[in-house]
Structure 1
Amino acid sequence: MHINFNDLFLKMQEQLESSQAVLDDSLLIELVNRIRPDDATDLDEINHKFQAFIQALLLTPHAVTTFQNFILKLINQYKQTSLYADTGILSLDGFWNQLAQRLGAHFLPLINDQSQLQDLVRRVFYQRSDKYWLDSIVDADWQKLFALINQGHSNQQDKLKIKSELIKAITVLSYRISGIGLYPEFINAHPELTEYESPFLVQNREINEFIQHYKALHQNTDPMALIVPPDASQALVMIEQCRDVVLKIRRATKRIGVSLSLTYLLSLLEQCLDRIELLLNLIMDEDQLRYESLGLLLVDITHAIYSERSVRSLLAANSELIALQVTENASKTGEHYVSTDKQGFWSMYKSAAGAGVIIATMASLKILAARIAMAPIMQALVFSMNYSFGFMLIHVLHFTVATKQPAMTAAALAATVQQTKGSKTTQIAELAALIINIIRTQFIAILGNISIAIPTAAVITLLWQYGMDEPLLTHVKATKTLHSLNPFTSLAIPHAAIAGVCLFFSGLIAGYFDNMAVYRKVGPRLQAHANLKQLLGQERLNKFATYIERNLGALAGNFLFGIMLGSMGTIGFILGLPLDIRHIAFASANFIQGLICINGSPEIGLIIVSFLGVLLIGLTNLFVSFTLTIIVALRARRVRFEQWKPLAKLVLTHFLTRPSDFFWPPKTPLEVDEFSTPQKSTLK
């Protein structure tokens, strides 16, 4: 591929030879335009155009010298320290200030400082796709280009000026790292920092010592003086120790919890450590390392130019650890929702059956509450409290709502995907076994809810009719209730999907409050509460505090889930939108109540269609909540699982050969045949 660069090299030479004080950066912009591929993902085009530029430098007389002179002088026209020390690194303002600034910048754009080198980079790499094709250039090509440009010993003053700016940036970053390491929240997360000399402080001392030696070397004018070359190895060792502390804190978050501010500090610190190491490499004498680091810095800065004002990138960088902790708590809970043997199978049925009684009662109470003429907000409050306290009671009594399972079991499945080791065949077989166990447990939980909720709701309806001498539902209301379950003529399925989203959020909320209970030390703080000590006594207070610490997430998740279900219809009414929820357990109770209260014998078609609607509502509840949760859980763990098709095929094959395993526990737990091929994998 031939690309003409000669005209640009000639214009660069003309500008260098002229007396103009400021070089024209449009030449560099045009040069990058010619190198830029039409398709940022086409590796062949990227390679051909980049190689064409290198060949042009090699074959064009004086091109290397001209380009070197032009680039160095152009860079030195700008202030550089901020580019090296700030671009691509989070601000010390904190997460919420950063979020507010970035949101504000979307409505009232920030003004670029044209004296800063960032402005030049922003004008040269002005397309969002630039970060992709730059990242696709291999290290060997970067080394070849920079080695070519760095030929000769000319422009020493310009090079020293750039190195001086790099030294300033290294100094800024070093002090910033020291300051972050002294943050109280950081020390609380890793108390050992106060017991020995903090590596965050030691690195600053080592960096300063290195800088002093470096300056002494370059400021020395006596050719006979013996000066030891500066050695950054000790500084790099301390930077690595700082990374170890960050890693320990990240691991400790599973035990101590995590906050948004701590996550922000960890992300900021990691960025500073990565950048200072990169800058140290740039001023070292090892050419290969220097050229490779220069390529990495260019890619990093180009990427940062477009992400430093992005709300999405800020949220992604800072929510990951919290999302991981939230889904980690959910996965631990989810393990209890998966049965592998007959004992666990029947325990799940009993647990779900108990919940069925309470759900039928809640459904009946909602019908009665709907009779009362109330303002929309008050009605939403009453409905919400009915749901919330009912779900909390189910949890306190150790019962199970079937639709709460997917949000928990999906997180457990994601954790299994991350932890599974061995061959792909082994991974797929183990996941298939887990999925079959999940499906079987989900089946018996739904059966437990429905099989008890329906007769309990029927008994309540008949008792009300007998005791109060009036039906629980009028004929019109009963007919409307049954028709609202019709999956073909009503919005039952979309409303079930909304309930699935609420289930998903309730799982995240539960994980968040579990994390908060640990991080904020809710249990110990309750135990130290003076008023509660007087009221309950220390022994009972200790039991209460322990229970709250272990169950705060579940209680909060159930409470807020109830509010979401109870207020969704009112929100739809206020907004004029057809918003509502359909939940399989409540739908099954309403189904039997509608049949009992309708005048005369209901049509068989209405019964079949309504019951079909109940089943589809349940499937939609489960599918939506499970899908959303597993997506979040996998992303939080940075896991990419690409074996979904073989996994689905294996599960389907097992269903066709041994369908009973999906509905009844096998005599022996499902095992994995590690010696089977992916196409022939079987579950024993």
Structure 2
Amino acid sequence: MRHQLETDQLTSDLLVDLFDQLRPQDVSNRQDIHDKIQTLIYSLTFIPDAAATCQLFLLKLLNQYKQVSLYAESGILSPEGFPTQLANRIGAHVLPLLKDESELKYLVGKVFHQSTDVQWLETIAPQDWQDILALLCQPQSYVLQKKQIRVRILQAIQTLSYRISAIGLHPELQYIYPALNELTSPFLIQNREILDFLDHYQKFDEFIDDDLNIGPQIANLDPDQALVMLDQCREVMQKVRRLTKRQGVSLSLTYLLTVLEQSLERIELLLSVVSDQVDEQQLAIKQLLFDLVDAHYSDQSVRALLQTNTELLALQMTENASRTGEHYVSTDKSGYFKMYRSAAGAGAIIATMATLKVLMSRVTMAPFMQAFAYSMNYSLGFVLIHMLHFTVATKQPAMTAAALAATIQNSTGSQNAKLAETAALIINIGRTQFIAIIGNISIAIPVAALICWLWPILFSEQLVTNIKAMHLLNDLNPFTSMAIPHAAIAGVCLFLSGLITGYYDNLAVYRKIGARISAHPKLRKIFKLSTLDRIASYIECNLGAIMGNFLFGIMLGSMGTLGFILGLPLDIRHIAFASANLIQGLLNLSGGADLGIIIISVLGVMLIGITNLFVSFSLTIIVALRSRRVKVKQWKPLFKLIITHFATRPSDFFWPPKQPLQIEEQNKP
């Protein structure tokens, strides 16, 4: 290392070798990490001039690279926008970008060449970090080398300040928070304060003399006023996030808020790095190292981009779904029978839809026209069910899972109390789901049977031929057909329809759809104002449900045709339609069905229903919990609580209790 310091150009090989020696084989082995770090500290402490030599080597090596872009851009999303970023990252995976060896980012990637490096760096004990930084960051030495790095950091601070101001002036942010149009916007004032601080700092740096070998005394260079304005920018950001719960959110706004949060965190960190407070400075250097090493891998990660930017939008979508889901949970006998009546009405319509699909299958159509016909049958039927305030049982899980996630997040009290509250909600959801399925099936089957009985009387022909009846029953066989995988596909469609519902509910609020319809000049000429206001109010309140049901119908109706075009075994199986197809097949089978066929077909319908519910509920609760950053670590005690309640009071899962359900807390022994 001393030999290299005598040359004009340093190489990074020694630094790479050093970290290769420090890097543990198991990043979770704290003892191994501690032992290696202690060996490093011992060497720096007791080998003569080792700490000073390492410090000078690091400073000179860093100054050989361009630094500003690393400090101002690494770990911070580009202002290009989400679609461009996504396309660039996907493209970089297909055709990797060229590496600029003059950039400090290249050195970071060369030294920390494993994606797990940030994990073992964060595992190093705080006291060990304090000792290392105390040895390598001695303030009274190598002032000119430090000044060169400090100048680059100040340039990065200036760049970030301008970007924060630009975000504050962005139309998307001003749309949801109009107060930012005022001249007193903290986004503009912080830039003035930052520039004033940088101006004083740079003037002071001009007086530093390396011959004196003293560090700058910058006690009078206080960034507190700038930090106050940055805090106000953060407060505005939090206000905007709260406003999104009432006014909705867009992907572009989510992206802006993410960039703003990252920029504020980085500029505050860099201000601490140039601080005269040694302890604060050392903590900032450590955190900056963590962020830059982690960003080296996350900056090109498609998964990291999607996770970061869709979280707020997913939260808003599932938030809307959770509010809808509350209406799908009954806690008493009145709500229980109300749900049955609602599901029964849907059952009658579903039987009619199943009949229409059988009739459509008789007509020879091109694949696209067949997909269109099936889709319109499903879509318009589901929209009609919603408009008549009926309930499709399998639509519940996508809504109730979001409500469950919201309950888990918002529940208060002890851990046992939270588990009891969650268990009670799960039991209420299960009971409501049970009666909704019974409502759908108990009416869909007799209505479908009635249509089958009346059809030959009215039209002198069987509704379903013997071959078609055999086909309908074979499609329900869970052992010889793709009934269960197809039911899982339907569950995914149900999950997506829940997200679509939340998305359009959010869109209706964020884009003020109702108010825009009411103010539409041409519509005001066609309708009376009172009528137009009612239409606008209905669309704003029901746009999500209408679009969710309509697009859900398109997914169901076109899945089979999509599978035919792609040559894949794609199709859907839905419990309500399967029950109607069951009775259609049994009543039109020549010679009648034997007991074995009946049992297998009924079993298939039951398994289709279970698969529908399990897939849609599981996917929705995963998204809802992740969007709320909620981790449930008590699944085992929760399930134990539910199973214990089922063993002692199984009727609560199928029939509403006389009193609101209360789950007794289980105390730990």
For the aligned pair, the TM-score class normalised by the smaller chain equals over 0.9
Aligned residue identity for 1:478: A
Aligned residue identity for 2:172: E
- Aligned partners of 2:39 and 2:518: how far apart in 1? 71
Preserved CA contact (<8 Å) 1:139 1:295: no
CA deviation profile, 1:568-614 (whole Å, cap 9, x unmatched): 11111111111110000000000001111111121011111101111
Aligned residue identity for 1:133: W
- Alpha-carbon distance, 1:537 to partner: 1.7
Match of 1:643 in 2: 634
Residues 1:605 and 2:596 are matched in the alignment: yes
Aligned residue identity for 1:211: L
CA deviation profile, 1:500-537 (whole Å, cap 9, x unmatched): 00000000010001111111111111111122222222
Residues 1:90 and 2:77 are matched in the alignment: yes
CA deviation profile, 1:222-273 (whole Å, cap 9, x unmatched): 99x9997111111111111111111111111111111111000000000100
Match of 2:226 in 1: 235
Preserved CA contact (<8 Å) 1:214 1:229: no
Match of 2:111 in 1: 124
Residues 1:110 and 2:97 are matched in the alignment: yes
Residues 1:661 and 2:648 are matched in the alignment: no
CA deviation profile, 1:289-328 (whole Å, cap 9, x unmatched): 1111101000100000111111111111100000000000
- Aligned partners of 1:83 and 1:659: how far apart in 2? 61
Match of 2:131 in 1: 144
1:594 to 585, 589, 608: 585
CA deviation profile, 1:144-171 (whole Å, cap 9, x unmatched): 2111112363311001111111111111
Match of 1:288 in 2: 279
2:266 to 272, 275, 283: 275
Deviates more, 1:445-454 or 1:172-181: 172-181
Residues 277-676 of structure 1 mapped to structure 2, 5 A cutoff: 277-673=268-664, 676=666
- Aligned partners of 1:179 and 1:67: how far apart in 2? 40
Match of 2:667 in 1: 677
Match of 2:9 in 1: 22
- Alpha-carbon distance, 1:203 to partner: 0.9
Preserved CA contact (<8 Å) 1:355 1:449: yes
Match of 1:247 in 2: 238
- Aligned partners of 1:453 and 1:228: how far apart in 2? 80
Aligned residue identity for 1:14: H
- Aligned partners of 1:371 and 1:14: how far apart in 2? 88
Deviates more, 1:186-195 or 1:362-371: 186-195
- Seq. identity, %: 60
Match of 2:2 in 1: 13
Aligned residue identity for 1:159: K
- Aligned partners of 1:454 and 1:35: how far apart in 2? 70
Aligned residue identity for 2:667: T
- Alpha-carbon distance, 1:673 to partner: 4.0
Aligned residue identity for 1:498: I
- Alpha-carbon distance, 1:659 to partner: 0.7
Aligned residue identity for 1:53: L
- For structure 2, list consecutive stretches of 5 or more residues without a partner in the other structure: none
Preserved CA contact (<8 Å) 2:375 2:557: yes
- Aligned partners of 1:641 and 1:226: how far apart in 2? 50
Deviates more, 1:464-473 or 1:336-345: 464-473
C-alpha change, 1:183 and 1:466, in structure 2 (3 Å) is same
- Alpha-carbon distance, 1:177 to partner: 0.5
2:151 to 164, 181, 186: 164
CA deviation profile, 1:358-399 (whole Å, cap 9, x unmatched): 000000000000000001111010000000000000000000
Preserved CA contact (<8 Å) 1:646 1:678: no
Preserved CA contact (<8 Å) 1:356 1:450: yes
- For structure 1, list consecutive stretches of 5 or more residues without a partner in the other structure: 1-11, 680-684
The TM-score, its normalising length taken from structure 1, stands at: 0.95
Preserved CA contact (<8 Å) 1:517 1:549: yes
Preserved CA contact (<8 Å) 2:16 2:111: yes
Report the count of equivalent residues: 664
Match of 1:6 in 2: none
- Alpha-carbon distance, 1:56 to partner: 1.5
- Aligned partners of 1:70 and 1:184: how far apart in 2? 47
The TM-score, its normalising length taken from structure 2, stands at: 0.97
C-alpha change, 1:42 and 1:55, in structure 2 (3 Å) is same
Match of 2:165 in 1: 178
Aligned residue identity for 1:15: Q
- Aligned partners of 1:512 and 1:175: how far apart in 2? 33
Preserved CA contact (<8 Å) 1:217 1:229: no
Preserved CA contact (<8 Å) 1:424 1:678: no
Match of 1:3 in 2: none
Preserved CA contact (<8 Å) 1:213 1:229: no
Q: Helix, strand or coil: the match of 2:194?
A: helix
The CA RMSD over aligned residues, in Å, is 1.5
C-alpha change, 1:364 and 1:678, in structure 2 (3 Å) is farther
- Alpha-carbon distance, 1:633 to partner: 0.3
- Alpha-carbon distance, 1:105 to partner: 1.0
- Alpha-carbon distance, 1:538 to partner: 1.2
Q: Helix, strand or coil: the match of 1:38?
A: coil
- Aligned partners of 2:237 and 2:100: how far apart in 1? 34
- Aligned partners of 2:383 and 2:46: how far apart in 1? 77
Preserved CA contact (<8 Å) 1:40 1:132: yes
C-alpha change, 1:242 and 1:118, in structure 2 (3 Å) is same
Match of 1:8 in 2: none
Residues 31-50 of structure 1 mapped to structure 2, 5 A cutoff: 31-50=18-37
